[in-house]
Amino acid sequence: MRNIKMTYEYDGTNFFGMQRQKKDRTVAGEMERAIKILLKEEVELINSGRTDRGVHALCQVSNFFTNSKIPLSNFKHALSNILPEDINLINVEEVPEDFNSRFSAKWRSYIYKLSHNKNIFDRNKVMFTKDEIDCEKLNEILKQLKGKHDFGSFRKADCTAVNGEREIYEIYSYEEKDEVHIYIKANSFLKSMVRIIVASSLAVYFNEKPKDYLIQKLNNPNIKENGKLIAPPQGLYLYEVNYGD
């Protein structure tokens, strides 16, 4: 039995998220379909993380087990020809049997892209903001979230994680050409945690919420808000998955 690790990227615009579904088109569904065509066997992907509908990935990692003897070089080339245009296979390698894309990860990072320059051709790639963003001012807000906290009030109501405690190692914004990117690196993330962090931080930035709003949420991890703030999915990108190598 071989354990195959794949690193790939995708444009999430036309996907109903990462996890396989019976009716809707998903990233895992397309990957498993292509692998079945190539290897003539059913596989079940183990993924480093889930992404919501419309969310992109610059570095997604999955692994699966197979009895196939196909050389990896042939596998990568052949699978790339089967995969749809919105998925790009970056690397394929054989790993030890105990490797697990999800549980072996040491940390992950996301980037959220913002732009003040509204361009319809970027509408599926960034979140448009009503005014320009001053990164220095935004970073003063974001730094309140760095460290180990209970992020229970920064997740969707249907999040199934038992423990809301997570540790954010790095969080900051920076300018990238005509955009502002928010970088967040943590040991792991709760469901929609990044999108809620972005929306909550911007609400403080634009004076829609009080200055201590983020601290209030950290101090009250079980708080339930009507119309919980959440940023749209198209600005979010899974950026890095690290396994300590």
Phi first, then psi: give them for residue 151, nearest 5 degrees. Answer: -95, 30
Q: Which helix (H) or strand (E) holds 92?
A: strand 87-95
Reference 234, options 129, 124, 120, 130; nearest CA is: 124
Residue 232 φ/ψ, nearest 5 degrees: -65, 155
Q: Does 134 participate in catalysis according to the annotation?
A: no
How far apart CA 8 and CA 93 sit, in angstroms, is 12
Cβ contact 108:241 at 8 Å = yes
Nearest to 157 by CA among 112, 180, 190: 190
- Would you report the helix, strand and coil content of the chain in percent, each value rounded to 5? 25, 30, 45
Radius of gyration of the chain (CA): 19
For residue 144, the SS3 value is helix
Catalytic residue among 11, 24, 52, 178: 52
Tokens of 207: 């004076």
Instruction: Say how far apart CA 220 and CA 159 lie, in whole Å.
Output: 17
Q: Looking at the annotation, which residues are catalytic?
A: 52
